[in-house]
Amino acid sequence: MPVIVDAIVTLTSLLIVAAYIWSVRGHFSSPKTPRGAWLIAAAVAGSASLLIALTWTAEAPPFASVLGILCEAASGFLFHAAVRTSKKAALRFAFDPEHPASLLATGPYHYVRHPFYVSYLLFWTGWSIATWALPALIVPPVFLGLYWQAAGMEERNFAASPFAREYASYRDRVGFFFPRIDRDNR
């Protein structure tokens, strides 16, 4: 049974990583890939390699595998909702220094300002939980740091763009990585 569970975790994880890789060219549009995006790509390759190895070498209790897969499924759902909402928005790569071309406030953007990064964090956290291995604990904080930096740069780009006033209002209503509980009370 553990081999089947390991195979399910691996297949689920690789399918989600494949969707993320597709988005680099199939969804996001930047004239060139910023240096920070290359850093994220290297972190993805290294982390995926580590987590595949841990999936097959560490023994995870069934609840960890189930919880991990549920987090990954939630990640995939949020990712696809963000893609559907933003498919015509000409979003840029992480760490792109250019001003944004549009402001989104519907779909998952109604709840969090950076749903793609939230979906990625859910994914890496889920896969790390599914391995139930101590070395996997490094993966989510590494990506939290990278995505926090990228999101912060995007926030500064919005503040310096023609959308600055509208974005400031949006920022007051909508959470960064977590939905605001009091968002409807504003």
The pLDDT tens digits for 47-98 are 999 999 999 999 999 999 999 999 999 999 999 999 999 999 989 999 999 9
Main-chain dihedrals φ then ψ at residue 175, nearest 5 degrees:
-70, 160
Asked whether residue 186 is assigned to any structural domain, the reply reads no
pLDDT given at position 100? 92
Query: Token match 């109604």: residue?
Result: 110
Tokens of 112: 């969090």
Find the CATH number of the domain harbouring 104.
1.20.120.1630
Cβ(23)–Cβ(83) under 8 Å? yes
Domain residues for the domain of 173 are: 2-181
Q: Could you give the CA distance from residue 37 to residue 129 in angstroms, rounded to a whole number?
A: 25
170 part of a folded domain: yes
Over its C-alpha atoms, the chain yields an Rg (Å, rounded) of: 17
Query: Each residue of 123-158: pLDDT tens digit?
Result: 999 999 999 999 999 999 999 999 999 999 999 999
Q: How many domains does the chain have?
A: 1
| pLDDT over 80 at 174, yes or no | yes
94-to-51, 110, 137, 149 alpha-carbon distances in Å: 23, 20, 23, 9
In whole numbers, what is the pLDDT of the chain averaged over residues?
94
Q: In the prediction, which pLDDT does 137 show?
A: 97
